[in-house]
């Protein structure tokens, strides 16, 4: 069994990126368990709050989910051609204390997918993730790309309705999981 933790970078109840992870779970197939994590409850990073109170409970809970997973599937929106602050903020908290980055992220398989309302399907957001992933020392899986554009037409009531994207998503998740399994 390959255990993948999907993290959506959007807090919206109607998020296309969260819906993309639900669809990924549906198409994953045998031998793949896909859990979906939330960023709700993670406060804005504040070094004073960290010094006074330590790591927030919501961040510790997400760290525990990450440790329990064989790989991470990040479903990223694109805001102003970059990584949404909510998602980057969560990563910043997860990277604290810096002495724990290696244990949490080092060599961990990570793949990126994303959905946007526009025509370019998070291409610039996904590119903006690359230096962050490099800094964390993860093992970025680049065996496929999934750029879901015009998400308003790809999803209906939170359900993926585009068959071509469904097939691309299945191939992506299965390819990522196969790569994780092959490294064991």
Ligand X SMILES: Cc1cc2nc3c(=O)[nH]c(=O)nc-3n(C[C@H](O)[C@H](O)[C@H](O)COP(=O)(O)O)c2cc1C
Binding site for ligand X (CB under 6 A): 10, 12, 15-17, 77-81, 116-118, 120, 151
As measured in angstroms, the least distance from the Cβ of 16 to ligand X is 4
* Distance in angstroms (rounded) separating the CA atoms of residues 62 and 104: 11
**Closer residue to ligand X (CB): 75 or 168:** 75
**Closer residue to ligand X (CB): 7 or 27:** 7
Q: At what angle do helices 85-94 and 123-136 cross, to 10 degrees?
A: 10
**Closer residue to ligand X (CB): 116 or 126:** 116
As measured in angstroms, the least distance from the Cβ of 153 to ligand X is 12
β-bridge pairing 32-37 and 139-140: unpaired
Helix (H, G, I), strand (E, B) or coil at 6: strand
As measured in angstroms, the least distance from the Cβ of 52 to ligand X is 31
Closest to 113 (Cα-Cα) out of 92, 102, 135, 129? 129
């Amino acid at each position: 069994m390959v255990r993948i933790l999907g993290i959506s970078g959007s807090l919206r109840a109607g998020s296309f990126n969260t819906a993309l992870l639900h669809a990924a779970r549906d198409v994953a197939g045998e031998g793949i368990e896909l859990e979906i994590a939330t960023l709700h409850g993670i406060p804005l990073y504040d070094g004073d709050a960290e010094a006074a109170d330590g790591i927030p409970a919501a961040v510790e809970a997400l760290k525990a989910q990450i440790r329990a997973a064989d790989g991470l599937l990040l479903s990223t929106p694109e805001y102003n051609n970059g990584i949404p602050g909510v998602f980057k903020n969560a990563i910043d908290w997860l990277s604290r204390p810096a002495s724990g980055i290696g244990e949490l992220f080092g060599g961990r398989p990570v793949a990126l997918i994303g959905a946007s309302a526009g025509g370019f399907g998070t291409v610039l957001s996904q590119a903006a993730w690359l230096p962050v992933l490099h800094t964390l020392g993860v093992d970025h899986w680049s065996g496929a790309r999934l750029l879901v554009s015009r998400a308003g037409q790809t999803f209906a009531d939170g359900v993926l309705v585009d068959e071509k994207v469904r097939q691309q998503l299945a191939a992506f998740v299965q390819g990522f999981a196969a790569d994780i399994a092959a490294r064991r």
